A and B are shown apart, each in its own frame.
Chain A
Amino acid sequence: MGYSRYDFTPLLHSIDQWLYSVMSPAWALIVELTLIGLAFLIFYALVGLFLVYAERKVCGFIQNRVGPNRVGKYGIFQTIADFIKLLMKELIGTKDADKLLYNIAPYIVIICSFMAIGAIPFAQGLLAIDFDIGILYIISVSSLSVIGVLLAGWSSNSKYPLIGAMRSGAQIISYELSVGLSLLTIIVLAGTMQFSKIVMAQENGWFIFKGHIPAIIAFILYVIASTAETNRGPFDLAEAESELTAGYHTEYSGIKFAFFYLAEYMNMFIVASIAATVFLGGWMPLHIPAWNGFNVVMDYIPPVIWYFMKTAFVIYIIMLFKWTFPRLRIDHLLTLEWKYLLPINLVNILFMALIVLLGWHF
Protein backbone atom coordinates (compact mmCIF):
# COMPACT_ATOMS: atom_id res chain seq x y z
CA MET A 1 0.00 0.00 0.00
CA GLY A 2 1.03 3.58 -0.59
CA TYR A 3 1.24 4.61 3.04
CA SER A 4 4.06 2.13 3.71
CA ARG A 5 6.51 4.53 2.03
CA TYR A 6 6.44 6.30 5.39
CA ASP A 7 7.18 3.10 7.32
CA PHE A 8 9.55 3.76 10.23
CA THR A 9 10.47 0.09 10.71
CA PRO A 10 13.53 -0.01 8.34
CA LEU A 11 15.00 3.18 9.81
CA LEU A 12 14.59 2.00 13.41
CA HIS A 13 15.90 -1.45 12.50
CA SER A 14 19.06 0.00 10.97
CA ILE A 15 19.64 2.15 14.08
CA ASP A 16 19.11 -0.94 16.23
CA GLN A 17 21.54 -3.03 14.19
CA TRP A 18 24.14 -0.24 14.17
CA LEU A 19 23.95 0.06 17.98
CA TYR A 20 24.33 -3.68 18.43
CA SER A 21 27.30 -3.75 16.03
CA VAL A 22 29.31 -1.03 17.81
CA MET A 23 28.78 -2.11 21.43
CA SER A 24 27.94 -5.10 23.59
CA PRO A 25 24.28 -6.20 23.68
CA ALA A 26 23.82 -5.09 27.28
CA TRP A 27 25.06 -1.55 26.54
CA ALA A 28 23.12 -1.38 23.29
CA LEU A 29 19.92 -2.17 25.18
CA ILE A 30 20.67 0.46 27.81
CA VAL A 31 21.44 3.07 25.15
CA GLU A 32 18.24 2.22 23.28
CA LEU A 33 16.12 2.48 26.43
CA THR A 34 17.74 5.82 27.30
CA LEU A 35 17.13 7.18 23.80
CA ILE A 36 13.48 6.10 23.84
CA GLY A 37 13.03 7.59 27.30
CA LEU A 38 14.61 10.89 26.23
CA ALA A 39 12.48 11.02 23.10
CA PHE A 40 9.33 10.53 25.16
CA LEU A 41 10.41 13.11 27.75
CA ILE A 42 10.97 15.76 25.08
CA PHE A 43 7.73 14.82 23.36
CA TYR A 44 5.94 14.97 26.70
CA ALA A 45 7.20 18.47 27.50
CA LEU A 46 6.44 19.83 24.04
CA VAL A 47 2.92 18.39 23.92
CA GLY A 48 2.22 19.62 27.44
CA LEU A 49 3.32 23.16 26.61
CA PHE A 50 1.37 23.17 23.36
CA LEU A 51 -1.82 21.81 24.94
CA VAL A 52 -1.85 24.45 27.68
CA TYR A 53 -1.52 27.13 24.99
CA ALA A 54 -4.23 25.48 22.86
CA GLU A 55 -6.55 25.24 25.83
CA ARG A 56 -6.22 28.95 26.57
CA LYS A 57 -6.77 29.87 22.94
CA VAL A 58 -9.85 27.62 22.66
CA CYS A 59 -11.18 29.04 25.91
CA GLY A 60 -10.64 32.55 24.58
CA PHE A 61 -12.38 31.64 21.34
CA ILE A 62 -15.45 30.29 23.14
CA GLN A 63 -15.63 33.22 25.51
CA ASN A 64 -15.16 35.72 22.67
CA ARG A 65 -11.74 36.86 23.91
CA VAL A 66 -8.32 36.89 22.28
CA GLY A 67 -6.54 34.65 24.78
CA PRO A 68 -2.78 34.97 25.40
CA ASN A 69 -1.31 37.40 22.84
CA ARG A 70 1.53 39.31 24.54
CA VAL A 71 4.52 36.97 24.75
CA GLY A 72 5.72 36.34 21.21
CA LYS A 73 3.59 36.41 18.08
CA TYR A 74 0.01 35.32 18.99
CA GLY A 75 1.30 34.62 22.49
CA ILE A 76 2.98 31.33 21.51
CA PHE A 77 5.71 31.74 24.13
CA GLN A 78 3.21 32.37 26.93
CA THR A 79 3.27 28.79 28.24
CA ILE A 80 7.07 28.66 28.12
CA ALA A 81 7.18 31.83 30.22
CA ASP A 82 4.65 30.29 32.63
CA PHE A 83 6.72 27.13 32.83
CA ILE A 84 9.91 29.05 33.69
CA LYS A 85 7.98 30.93 36.37
CA LEU A 86 6.75 27.63 37.85
CA LEU A 87 10.28 26.20 37.85
CA MET A 88 11.59 29.12 39.89
CA LYS A 89 8.78 29.24 42.44
CA GLU A 90 9.40 28.27 46.03
CA LEU A 91 8.03 24.88 47.11
CA ILE A 92 5.68 25.44 50.04
CA GLY A 93 4.18 22.51 51.97
CA THR A 94 1.65 22.34 54.77
CA LYS A 95 2.46 21.80 58.42
CA ASP A 96 2.16 18.18 59.64
CA ALA A 97 1.76 16.87 56.12
CA ASP A 98 2.92 13.31 55.50
CA LYS A 99 6.07 14.50 53.71
CA LEU A 100 6.95 11.18 52.06
CA LEU A 101 3.56 10.60 50.44
CA TYR A 102 3.18 14.31 49.74
CA ASN A 103 6.38 14.22 47.71
CA ILE A 104 5.83 10.99 45.79
CA ALA A 105 2.20 11.67 44.79
CA PRO A 106 3.06 13.92 41.78
CA TYR A 107 5.52 11.32 40.53
CA ILE A 108 2.95 8.50 40.70
CA VAL A 109 0.55 10.56 38.59
CA ILE A 110 3.18 11.46 36.03
CA ILE A 111 4.76 7.98 35.82
CA CYS A 112 1.35 6.46 35.04
CA SER A 113 0.77 8.75 32.09
CA PHE A 114 4.36 8.14 31.00
CA MET A 115 3.84 4.37 31.02
CA ALA A 116 0.64 4.66 29.03
CA ILE A 117 2.15 6.75 26.26
CA GLY A 118 4.68 4.01 25.43
CA ALA A 119 2.05 1.77 23.88
CA ILE A 120 0.50 4.36 21.56
CA PRO A 121 1.34 3.97 17.84
CA PHE A 122 2.30 7.32 16.29
CA ALA A 123 3.01 5.95 12.83
CA GLN A 124 3.76 2.65 11.16
CA GLY A 125 6.55 1.06 13.21
CA LEU A 126 6.78 4.11 15.49
CA LEU A 127 5.77 2.84 18.91
CA ALA A 128 7.81 1.80 21.93
CA ILE A 129 6.05 -1.44 22.89
CA ASP A 130 3.55 -3.44 20.88
CA PHE A 131 1.82 -5.67 23.42
CA ASP A 132 -0.77 -8.21 22.33
CA ILE A 133 -2.86 -6.75 25.15
CA GLY A 134 -2.25 -3.10 24.15
CA ILE A 135 -5.66 -1.70 25.11
CA LEU A 136 -5.85 -3.66 28.36
CA TYR A 137 -2.34 -2.45 29.23
CA ILE A 138 -3.26 1.20 28.73
CA ILE A 139 -6.49 0.83 30.73
CA SER A 140 -4.65 -0.88 33.59
CA VAL A 141 -1.78 1.62 33.70
CA SER A 142 -4.01 4.66 33.55
CA SER A 143 -6.17 3.22 36.34
CA LEU A 144 -3.16 3.63 38.65
CA SER A 145 -3.02 7.41 38.40
CA VAL A 146 -6.00 7.75 40.74
CA ILE A 147 -3.70 6.53 43.53
CA GLY A 148 -1.49 9.59 43.07
CA VAL A 149 -4.55 11.82 43.29
CA LEU A 150 -5.83 10.12 46.45
CA LEU A 151 -2.41 10.24 48.12
CA ALA A 152 -1.96 13.92 47.21
CA GLY A 153 -5.33 14.78 48.73
CA TRP A 154 -4.80 12.87 51.94
CA SER A 155 -1.17 13.66 52.66
CA SER A 156 -1.65 17.43 52.25
CA ASN A 157 -3.36 17.49 55.66
CA SER A 158 -5.96 19.98 54.51
CA LYS A 159 -9.72 19.85 54.04
CA TYR A 160 -10.18 20.94 50.45
CA PRO A 161 -7.63 18.54 48.95
CA LEU A 162 -9.20 15.67 50.90
CA ILE A 163 -12.69 16.43 49.59
CA GLY A 164 -11.27 16.85 46.10
CA ALA A 165 -9.45 13.52 46.32
CA MET A 166 -12.57 11.70 47.56
CA ARG A 167 -14.64 13.07 44.70
CA SER A 168 -11.94 12.30 42.19
CA GLY A 169 -11.59 8.73 43.46
CA ALA A 170 -15.32 8.01 43.23
CA GLN A 171 -15.45 9.59 39.80
CA ILE A 172 -12.44 7.86 38.25
CA ILE A 173 -13.38 4.42 39.60
CA SER A 174 -16.90 4.65 38.18
CA TYR A 175 -16.04 6.14 34.81
CA GLU A 176 -13.25 3.64 34.23
CA LEU A 177 -16.00 1.05 33.66
CA SER A 178 -17.54 3.00 30.82
CA VAL A 179 -14.15 3.68 29.23
CA GLY A 180 -13.29 -0.03 29.36
CA LEU A 181 -16.66 -1.21 28.09
CA SER A 182 -16.79 1.24 25.19
CA LEU A 183 -13.32 0.12 24.11
CA LEU A 184 -14.45 -3.49 24.52
CA THR A 185 -17.20 -2.83 21.98
CA ILE A 186 -14.54 -2.07 19.39
CA ILE A 187 -12.39 -5.03 20.50
CA VAL A 188 -15.40 -7.24 19.68
CA LEU A 189 -15.38 -5.79 16.18
CA ALA A 190 -11.59 -5.86 15.74
CA GLY A 191 -11.00 -9.27 17.33
CA THR A 192 -7.68 -8.13 18.80
CA MET A 193 -6.27 -5.83 21.49
CA GLN A 194 -2.93 -5.21 19.80
CA PHE A 195 -2.65 -1.60 18.66
CA SER A 196 -0.69 -2.33 15.49
CA LYS A 197 -3.26 -4.92 14.39
CA ILE A 198 -6.16 -2.61 15.29
CA VAL A 199 -4.70 0.10 13.07
CA MET A 200 -3.98 -2.32 10.22
CA ALA A 201 -7.56 -3.64 10.40
CA GLN A 202 -8.80 -0.14 9.62
CA GLU A 203 -7.02 -0.07 6.27
CA ASN A 204 -10.26 -0.25 4.28
CA GLY A 205 -12.34 1.96 6.54
CA TRP A 206 -12.12 3.29 10.07
CA PHE A 207 -13.93 1.36 12.79
CA ILE A 208 -16.36 4.20 13.40
CA PHE A 209 -17.59 3.68 9.80
CA LYS A 210 -17.15 -0.10 9.73
CA GLY A 211 -19.11 -0.66 12.92
CA HIS A 212 -21.65 2.08 12.08
CA ILE A 213 -24.39 2.50 14.75
CA PRO A 214 -22.83 0.68 17.76
CA ALA A 215 -19.39 2.10 16.95
CA ILE A 216 -20.73 5.66 16.86
CA ILE A 217 -22.56 5.08 20.16
CA ALA A 218 -19.35 3.64 21.64
CA PHE A 219 -17.35 6.65 20.41
CA ILE A 220 -19.75 9.12 22.04
CA LEU A 221 -19.74 7.12 25.29
CA TYR A 222 -15.96 6.88 25.21
CA VAL A 223 -15.49 10.61 24.77
CA ILE A 224 -17.91 11.40 27.63
CA ALA A 225 -16.43 8.79 30.00
CA SER A 226 -12.82 9.61 29.22
CA THR A 227 -13.45 13.32 29.76
CA ALA A 228 -14.72 12.39 33.20
CA GLU A 229 -11.82 10.02 33.83
CA THR A 230 -9.25 12.71 33.13
CA ASN A 231 -11.00 15.04 35.61
CA ARG A 232 -11.82 17.64 33.01
CA GLY A 233 -14.79 19.95 32.83
CA PRO A 234 -17.76 19.62 32.94
CA PHE A 235 -16.72 16.74 35.21
CA ASP A 236 -13.89 18.56 37.03
CA LEU A 237 -15.47 18.23 40.46
CA ALA A 238 -12.19 17.08 41.87
CA GLU A 239 -10.78 20.56 41.52
CA ALA A 240 -13.96 22.65 41.27
CA GLU A 241 -12.18 25.96 41.78
CA SER A 242 -15.28 27.81 42.98
CA GLU A 243 -15.84 25.41 45.89
CA LEU A 244 -12.51 23.70 46.58
CA THR A 245 -9.96 26.31 45.39
CA ALA A 246 -8.06 23.70 43.36
CA GLY A 247 -9.06 20.31 44.78
CA TYR A 248 -6.41 17.71 45.42
CA HIS A 249 -3.45 19.86 44.35
CA THR A 250 -4.38 22.94 46.39
CA GLU A 251 -1.36 22.58 48.68
CA TYR A 252 1.17 22.02 45.92
CA SER A 253 3.25 24.81 44.47
CA GLY A 254 6.00 25.32 41.94
CA ILE A 255 7.24 22.35 39.98
CA LYS A 256 5.14 19.81 41.88
CA PHE A 257 1.98 21.67 40.91
CA ALA A 258 3.34 21.77 37.35
CA PHE A 259 3.63 17.97 37.43
CA PHE A 260 -0.06 17.56 38.24
CA TYR A 261 -0.96 20.12 35.63
CA LEU A 262 1.21 18.47 32.99
CA ALA A 263 -0.10 15.00 33.86
CA GLU A 264 -3.67 16.23 33.45
CA TYR A 265 -2.94 17.50 29.96
CA MET A 266 -0.96 14.39 29.05
CA ASN A 267 -3.83 12.20 30.21
CA MET A 268 -6.10 14.18 27.94
CA PHE A 269 -3.64 13.62 25.10
CA ILE A 270 -3.45 9.87 25.80
CA VAL A 271 -7.23 9.57 25.97
CA ALA A 272 -7.56 11.45 22.69
CA SER A 273 -4.90 9.27 21.04
CA ILE A 274 -6.71 6.11 22.11
CA ALA A 275 -9.95 7.50 20.69
CA ALA A 276 -8.14 8.42 17.47
CA THR A 277 -6.43 5.02 17.24
CA VAL A 278 -9.35 2.79 18.12
CA PHE A 279 -12.23 4.64 16.47
CA LEU A 280 -10.69 6.90 13.83
CA GLY A 281 -7.97 4.65 12.43
CA GLY A 282 -4.89 5.99 14.23
CA TRP A 283 -2.18 6.84 11.72
CA MET A 284 -4.07 5.07 8.92
CA PRO A 285 -5.04 7.49 6.12
CA LEU A 286 -8.70 7.80 5.14
CA HIS A 287 -9.45 5.03 2.66
CA ILE A 288 -12.75 4.51 0.91
CA PRO A 289 -13.08 1.09 -0.81
CA ALA A 290 -13.12 1.27 -4.62
CA TRP A 291 -12.10 4.94 -4.69
CA ASN A 292 -8.54 4.10 -5.76
CA GLY A 293 -7.51 7.55 -6.97
CA PHE A 294 -8.70 9.14 -3.73
CA ASN A 295 -6.90 6.50 -1.66
CA VAL A 296 -3.61 7.09 -3.50
CA VAL A 297 -3.82 10.83 -2.88
CA MET A 298 -4.60 10.26 0.82
CA ASP A 299 -1.60 7.91 1.12
CA TYR A 300 0.74 10.78 0.23
CA ILE A 301 -0.10 12.56 3.50
CA PRO A 302 2.34 11.12 6.12
CA PRO A 303 0.73 8.91 8.80
CA VAL A 304 2.22 11.06 11.58
CA ILE A 305 0.21 14.02 10.29
CA TRP A 306 -2.94 11.89 10.09
CA TYR A 307 -2.37 10.75 13.66
CA PHE A 308 -1.87 14.24 15.04
CA MET A 309 -4.80 15.66 13.07
CA LYS A 310 -7.17 13.04 14.48
CA THR A 311 -5.83 13.44 18.01
CA ALA A 312 -6.12 17.22 17.76
CA PHE A 313 -9.71 16.81 16.58
CA VAL A 314 -10.65 14.72 19.64
CA ILE A 315 -8.76 17.09 21.95
CA TYR A 316 -10.68 20.01 20.43
CA ILE A 317 -13.99 18.24 21.17
CA ILE A 318 -12.91 17.62 24.77
CA MET A 319 -11.86 21.26 25.16
CA LEU A 320 -15.18 22.45 23.73
CA PHE A 321 -16.93 20.29 26.36
CA LYS A 322 -15.07 22.02 29.14
CA TRP A 323 -15.88 25.55 28.07
CA THR A 324 -19.46 24.89 26.93
CA PHE A 325 -21.19 22.92 29.66
CA PRO A 326 -21.67 23.93 33.31
CA ARG A 327 -20.14 21.71 35.97
CA LEU A 328 -22.23 18.76 37.17
CA ARG A 329 -23.10 18.08 40.79
CA ILE A 330 -21.46 15.00 42.33
CA ASP A 331 -24.67 12.94 42.62
CA HIS A 332 -25.71 13.88 39.07
CA LEU A 333 -22.28 12.80 37.93
CA LEU A 334 -22.54 9.37 39.51
CA THR A 335 -26.16 8.98 38.33
CA LEU A 336 -25.05 9.73 34.78
CA GLU A 337 -22.48 6.96 34.93
CA TRP A 338 -24.32 4.21 36.78
CA LYS A 339 -27.87 4.77 35.50
CA TYR A 340 -27.24 5.88 31.93
CA LEU A 341 -23.77 5.29 30.49
CA LEU A 342 -23.17 1.84 31.96
CA PRO A 343 -26.50 0.22 30.90
CA ILE A 344 -26.25 1.81 27.44
CA ASN A 345 -22.71 0.47 27.16
CA LEU A 346 -23.72 -3.07 28.15
CA VAL A 347 -26.59 -3.14 25.64
CA ASN A 348 -24.28 -1.64 23.04
CA ILE A 349 -21.75 -4.47 23.44
CA LEU A 350 -24.51 -7.05 22.92
CA PHE A 351 -25.68 -5.10 19.87
CA MET A 352 -22.13 -5.04 18.47
CA ALA A 353 -21.68 -8.77 19.12
CA LEU A 354 -24.94 -9.43 17.25
CA ILE A 355 -23.82 -7.29 14.31
CA VAL A 356 -20.42 -9.04 14.18
CA LEU A 357 -22.06 -12.49 14.34
CA LEU A 358 -24.55 -11.65 11.59
CA GLY A 359 -21.84 -9.99 9.52
CA TRP A 360 -23.71 -6.70 9.24
CA HIS A 361 -20.57 -4.60 9.53
CA PHE A 362 -18.57 -3.39 6.53
Chain B
Amino acid sequence: MTNYQFMFFLLSAIIIIFSILTVTTRRILRAATFLLFVLVATAGLYFMLRFNFLAAIQLTLYAGGIVVLIIFSVLLTSHISQKLEKASISKRILAAIAAIAGAVLCIITILATEFPTVTPNPPETDIHTIGQALLSTDKFGYSLPFEVISILLLAAMIGSIIIAKKRKD
Protein backbone atom coordinates (compact mmCIF):
# COMPACT_ATOMS: atom_id res chain seq x y z
CA MET B 1 0.00 0.00 0.00
CA THR B 2 1.49 3.32 -1.01
CA ASN B 3 1.44 6.46 1.12
CA TYR B 4 -1.11 7.93 -1.23
CA GLN B 5 -3.50 5.01 -0.76
CA PHE B 6 -2.88 5.03 2.99
CA MET B 7 -3.83 8.71 3.21
CA PHE B 8 -6.91 8.08 1.08
CA PHE B 9 -8.10 5.26 3.34
CA LEU B 10 -7.32 7.28 6.46
CA LEU B 11 -9.31 10.29 5.26
CA SER B 12 -12.16 8.10 4.02
CA ALA B 13 -12.31 6.34 7.37
CA ILE B 14 -12.47 9.69 9.17
CA ILE B 15 -15.24 10.87 6.85
CA ILE B 16 -17.32 7.70 7.28
CA ILE B 17 -16.88 7.38 11.06
CA PHE B 18 -17.59 11.02 11.82
CA SER B 19 -20.52 11.17 9.38
CA ILE B 20 -22.16 8.34 11.32
CA LEU B 21 -21.34 9.98 14.65
CA THR B 22 -22.78 13.28 13.41
CA VAL B 23 -26.24 11.78 12.94
CA THR B 24 -26.21 9.40 15.91
CA THR B 25 -25.05 11.70 18.71
CA ARG B 26 -27.71 13.11 21.03
CA ARG B 27 -25.93 16.39 21.72
CA ILE B 28 -26.32 19.02 19.06
CA LEU B 29 -22.98 20.76 19.52
CA ARG B 30 -21.12 17.46 19.34
CA ALA B 31 -22.91 16.80 16.04
CA ALA B 32 -21.65 20.15 14.74
CA THR B 33 -18.09 19.32 15.84
CA PHE B 34 -18.18 15.91 14.15
CA LEU B 35 -19.51 17.59 11.01
CA LEU B 36 -16.49 19.88 11.19
CA PHE B 37 -14.16 16.87 11.15
CA VAL B 38 -15.99 15.45 8.12
CA LEU B 39 -15.62 18.73 6.24
CA VAL B 40 -11.95 19.10 7.13
CA ALA B 41 -11.24 15.53 6.00
CA THR B 42 -13.03 16.28 2.71
CA ALA B 43 -10.71 19.27 2.29
CA GLY B 44 -7.86 16.81 2.86
CA LEU B 45 -9.13 14.71 -0.05
CA TYR B 46 -9.15 17.82 -2.26
CA PHE B 47 -5.56 18.53 -1.23
CA MET B 48 -4.68 14.96 -2.24
CA LEU B 49 -6.23 15.58 -5.65
CA ARG B 50 -4.11 18.76 -5.87
CA PHE B 51 -7.24 20.88 -6.01
CA ASN B 52 -5.62 23.33 -3.59
CA PHE B 53 -8.00 26.16 -4.35
CA LEU B 54 -11.10 24.06 -3.80
CA ALA B 55 -9.60 22.68 -0.58
CA ALA B 56 -8.91 26.14 0.80
CA ILE B 57 -12.42 27.25 -0.16
CA GLN B 58 -13.82 24.14 1.53
CA LEU B 59 -11.96 25.06 4.71
CA THR B 60 -12.98 28.73 4.58
CA LEU B 61 -16.62 28.38 3.60
CA TYR B 62 -17.76 25.10 5.06
CA ALA B 63 -15.49 24.56 8.05
CA GLY B 64 -14.74 28.18 8.89
CA GLY B 65 -18.07 29.67 7.80
CA ILE B 66 -21.02 27.32 7.94
CA VAL B 67 -19.93 25.25 10.95
CA VAL B 68 -19.10 28.45 12.84
CA LEU B 69 -22.57 29.74 11.99
CA ILE B 70 -24.16 26.49 13.22
CA ILE B 71 -22.13 26.53 16.44
CA PHE B 72 -22.95 30.19 16.95
CA SER B 73 -26.68 29.59 16.67
CA VAL B 74 -26.44 26.57 19.00
CA LEU B 75 -24.63 28.76 21.50
CA LEU B 76 -27.46 31.28 21.38
CA THR B 77 -30.34 28.86 21.56
CA SER B 78 -29.56 25.71 23.51
CA HIS B 79 -28.28 24.80 26.95
CA ILE B 80 -25.50 22.33 27.67
CA SER B 81 -27.78 19.87 29.47
CA GLN B 82 -30.15 19.61 26.49
CA LYS B 83 -30.16 16.34 24.61
CA LEU B 84 -32.13 15.55 21.50
CA GLU B 85 -35.10 13.26 22.06
CA LYS B 86 -35.14 9.87 20.46
CA ALA B 87 -37.41 9.76 17.43
CA SER B 88 -40.51 7.57 17.40
CA ILE B 89 -40.47 4.12 15.72
CA SER B 90 -42.56 5.16 12.70
CA LYS B 91 -40.28 8.16 12.04
CA ARG B 92 -37.23 5.95 12.30
CA ILE B 93 -38.62 3.41 9.83
CA LEU B 94 -39.52 6.13 7.34
CA ALA B 95 -36.09 7.74 7.72
CA ALA B 96 -34.40 4.37 7.25
CA ILE B 97 -36.38 3.71 4.06
CA ALA B 98 -35.51 7.15 2.69
CA ALA B 99 -31.84 6.72 3.57
CA ILE B 100 -31.58 3.24 2.05
CA ALA B 101 -33.37 4.36 -1.10
CA GLY B 102 -30.99 7.28 -1.46
CA ALA B 103 -27.97 5.07 -0.85
CA VAL B 104 -29.15 2.47 -3.40
CA LEU B 105 -29.72 5.18 -5.99
CA CYS B 106 -26.24 6.61 -5.40
CA ILE B 107 -24.52 3.21 -5.49
CA ILE B 108 -26.34 2.18 -8.70
CA THR B 109 -25.31 5.46 -10.35
CA ILE B 110 -21.70 5.11 -9.21
CA LEU B 111 -21.47 1.49 -10.38
CA ALA B 112 -23.05 2.32 -13.73
CA THR B 113 -20.67 5.20 -14.43
CA GLU B 114 -17.52 4.51 -16.41
CA PHE B 115 -14.79 6.45 -14.59
CA PRO B 116 -11.90 7.38 -16.88
CA THR B 117 -8.52 6.45 -15.42
CA VAL B 118 -6.33 9.41 -14.61
CA THR B 119 -2.62 9.72 -13.97
CA PRO B 120 -1.73 9.26 -10.30
CA ASN B 121 -0.52 12.85 -9.95
CA PRO B 122 -2.88 15.15 -11.84
CA PRO B 123 -1.49 18.62 -12.57
CA GLU B 124 -2.30 21.42 -10.17
CA THR B 125 -5.11 23.70 -11.23
CA ASP B 126 -3.65 27.11 -10.57
CA ILE B 127 -5.70 30.10 -9.54
CA HIS B 128 -4.91 31.99 -12.74
CA THR B 129 -6.86 29.43 -14.76
CA ILE B 130 -9.75 29.48 -12.30
CA GLY B 131 -9.83 33.26 -12.18
CA GLN B 132 -9.81 33.66 -15.93
CA ALA B 133 -12.50 31.01 -16.41
CA LEU B 134 -14.63 32.69 -13.75
CA LEU B 135 -14.62 36.07 -15.44
CA SER B 136 -14.42 35.16 -19.13
CA THR B 137 -17.40 35.53 -21.48
CA ASP B 138 -16.15 32.85 -23.90
CA LYS B 139 -17.63 29.43 -24.49
CA PHE B 140 -16.48 27.90 -21.20
CA GLY B 141 -16.58 31.13 -19.23
CA TYR B 142 -18.52 31.46 -16.00
CA SER B 143 -19.22 35.17 -16.24
CA LEU B 144 -23.02 34.83 -16.34
CA PRO B 145 -23.34 32.36 -13.43
CA PHE B 146 -20.93 34.55 -11.47
CA GLU B 147 -23.11 37.62 -11.98
CA VAL B 148 -26.34 35.73 -11.26
CA ILE B 149 -24.90 34.45 -7.98
CA SER B 150 -23.78 37.97 -7.13
CA ILE B 151 -27.34 39.24 -7.56
CA LEU B 152 -28.68 36.33 -5.51
CA LEU B 153 -26.25 37.11 -2.68
CA LEU B 154 -27.10 40.81 -2.86
CA ALA B 155 -30.80 39.97 -2.57
CA ALA B 156 -30.08 37.69 0.41
CA MET B 157 -28.06 40.44 2.05
CA ILE B 158 -30.80 43.06 1.59
CA GLY B 159 -33.34 40.59 2.94
CA SER B 160 -31.33 39.85 6.06
CA ILE B 161 -30.73 43.56 6.69
CA ILE B 162 -34.47 44.22 6.48
CA ILE B 163 -35.21 41.34 8.87
CA ALA B 164 -32.56 42.47 11.34
CA LYS B 165 -33.47 46.17 11.15
CA LYS B 166 -35.26 47.77 14.07
CA ARG B 167 -38.90 48.42 13.26
CA LYS B 168 -40.35 51.83 14.07
CA ASP B 169 -43.57 51.27 15.93
A residues at B contact (CB < 8 Å): 25-26, 29-30, 96-98, 100-101, 104, 131-133, 136-137, 139-141, 143-144, 146-147, 150-151, 153-155, 157, 162, 165-166, 169, 173, 193
Residue of A nearest to B76 (CB): A166
Q: Name the segment of B67-75, B101-109, B138-146, B151-159 touching the other chain.
A: B67-75
Please state if A98 and B75 are interface contacts (CB–CB under 8 Å): no
State whether the Cβ of B11 lies closer than 8 Å to any Cβ in chain A: no
- The answer for the CA separation of A104 and B64 in the assembled complex, in Å, is 17
Indicate if the CB atoms of A147 and B75 lie closer than 8 Å: no
A98 and B29 contact, CB distance less than 8 A = yes
| Count: A-B pairs, CB below 8 Å | 88
Let me know if B27 and A150 touch, CB within 8 A: no
CA of A100 to CA of B33, assembled, Å: 10
B59 with A141: CB separation less than 8 A: yes
A132 touches which of B3, B52, B65 (Cβ 8 Å): B52
Partner of B30, one of A29, A100, A169: A100
Bound CA–CA A35/B2 (angstroms): 20
Residue contact A147 to B29, C-beta cutoff 8 Å:
no
A31 to B76, CA, bound (A): 46
Chain A neighbourhood of B27, CB < 8 A = 98
Inter-chain contact A132/B33, CB cutoff 8 Å: no
Q: Which residues of B contact A26 (CB under 8 A)?
A: 2-3
11 residue pairs from A and B, CB less than 8 Å apart:
A25-B3, A26-B2, A101-B29, A141-B59, A151-B29, A155-B29, A155-B80, A162-B75, A169-B68, A169-B75, A173-B68
A143 in contact with B64 (CB, 8 Å): yes
B56 touches A133 (CB 8 A): yes
Interface residue tally on B, bucketed by range: 20 to 34
**C-alpha gap A110/B80 in the complex (Å):** 24
Check A144/B64 contact, CB under 8 A, given A96-B81, A133-B52, A154-B29. Answer: yes
- B54-70 vs A: 1/0 string, CB under 8 Å? 00110110011101100
The distance in angstroms between the C-alpha atoms of A26 and B4, with both chains bound, is 10
Q: How far apart are A163's CB and chain B's nearest CB, in angstroms? A: 10
CB distance from B131 to the nearest CB of A (A): 10
Check if B80 sits within 8 Å of A154, measured CB to CB.
yes
B127: Cβ under 8 A from any A Cβ = yes
Min CB distance A196 to B, Å, is: 14
B36 contacts A147, C-beta separation under 8 Å: yes
Measured in the bound complex, the distance between the Cα atoms of B43 and A143 in whole Å is 14
| Interface check B53, CB cutoff 8 A | yes
Known: A157-B80, A169-B68. A139 touches B60 (CB 8 A): yes
C-alpha spacing A131/B50, complex, angstroms: 10
Instruction: Return B149 CB to nearest CB of chain A, in Å.
Output: 19
CB distance from A337 to the nearest CB of B (A): 16
- Known A29-B3, A98-B30, A101-B29: A137·B75 in contact at CB below 8 Å: no
Whether B75 and A133, one on each chain, are in contact in the complex, defined by CB atoms closer than 8 angstroms, is no
Which A-chain residue is minimally distant from B63 (CB atoms)?
Answer: A144
Q: Are B53 and A133 in contact (CB under 8 A)?
A: yes
Q: Which residues of A contact B40 (CB under 8 A)?
A: 144
Q: Would you call B30 and A101 a contact (CB within 8 A)?
A: yes
Nearest CB of B to A45, in Å: 25
A171 to chain B, nearest CB (A): 12
For A137, what are the chain B residues with a Cβ–Cβ distance below 8 Å? Answer: 52, 56
- Closest B residue to A142 by beta carbon equals B64
User: In the complex, which residue of chain B has the Cβ closest to the Cβ of A151?
Assistant: B33
Answer whether residue B124 sits at the interface, using C-beta atoms and an 8 A cutoff: yes
Taking the nearest CB of chain B, how far is it from the CB of A62, in angstroms?
A: 34
Q: Is B52's CB under 8 angstroms from A140's CB?
A: no
Q: Which residues of B contact A173 (CB under 8 A)?
A: 68
Q: Which 6 A-B pairs have the closest CB atoms?
A: A143-B64, A140-B60, A140-B59, A140-B56, A136-B56, A157-B80
Fill in one digit per residue for B31-55: 1 if any A CB lies within 8 Å of its CB, else 0.
0010010001000000000001100
Q: A98-B30, A147-B67, A155-B29 are in contact. Are A165 and B80 (CB under 8 A)?
A: no
* Complex Cα spacing A139 to B55, Å: 12
Asked if B59 contacts A143 (CB within 8 A), the reply is yes
Q: Is B147 an interface residue (CB 8 A)?
A: no
Chain A residue numbers with a CB within 8 Å of B65 are 143
Cα distance, A30 to B6, chains bound together (Å): 12
Q: Enumerate chain B residues within 8 angstroms of A169, measured Cβ to Cβ.
A: 68, 71-72, 75
Known: A96-B81, A137-B56, A144-B59. 4 other contacts (CB 8 A): A29-B3, A101-B33, A136-B127, A139-B60
Take A137-B52, A147-B36 as given contacts and tell me if A166 and B75 are in contact as well, using a CB distance cutoff of 8 Å.
Answer: yes
Docked-complex contact A147 and B52, CB < 8 angstroms: no
Determine if B80 and A98 form an interchain contact, defined as CB atoms under 8 angstroms apart. Answer: yes
Contacts of A97 in B (CB 8 A): 80
CA distance A173 to B124 in the complex (A): 30
What is the CA–CA distance of A258 and B2 in the complex, to the nearest angstrom? 38
Give the one of A26, A139, A154, A162 with max B CB within 10 A.
Answer: A154
